[in-house]
Amino acid sequence: MNFLQKVKNVVVDSKVLSKTGLLRHSSHFVYQPDAKAPVDGPTQKMNMFQAINQAMDIALEQNESALVFGEDVAFGGVFRCSMGLQKKYGKHRVFNTPLCEQGIAGFAIGVANTGAKAIAEMQFADYIFPAFDQIVNEAAKYRYRSGNLYDCGSLTFRAPCGAVGHGACYHSQSPEAYFAHTPGLKVVVPRGPNKAKGLLLACVKDNDPCIVFEPKTLYRAAVEEVPVAPFESPIGKADILRAGTDITLVGWGTQIHVLQEVANMAKKQLDVSCEVIDLVSILPWDKETICNSVKKTGRVLIAHEAPLTNGFGAELAATIQEECFLHLESPVMRVTGWDTPFPHVFEPFYIPDKHRCLAGIRKLIDY
Residues classed as catalytic: 101, 171
Q: What are phi and psi of 102, to 5 degrees?
A: -65, -40
* Alpha carbon distance 247, 362 (integer Å): 11
Position 72, amino acid: D
Q: Torsion angle, CA of 295/298/302/308, rounded to 10 degrees?
A: 110
Least Cα distance to 298 among 275, 318, 327, 326 occurs for: 327
Q: What are phi and psi of 212, to 5 degrees?
A: -110, 110
* Cross-strand partners of 265: none
Residues in the chain: 367
Least Cα distance to 333 among 240, 250, 277, 261 occurs for: 250
Q: In a 3-state reduction of DSSP, which class is residue 333? A: strand
Residue 223's Cβ-side half-sphere holds a number of Cα atoms within 13 Å equal to 3
* Alpha carbon distance 154, 64 (integer Å): 13
* Cross-strand partners of 144: none
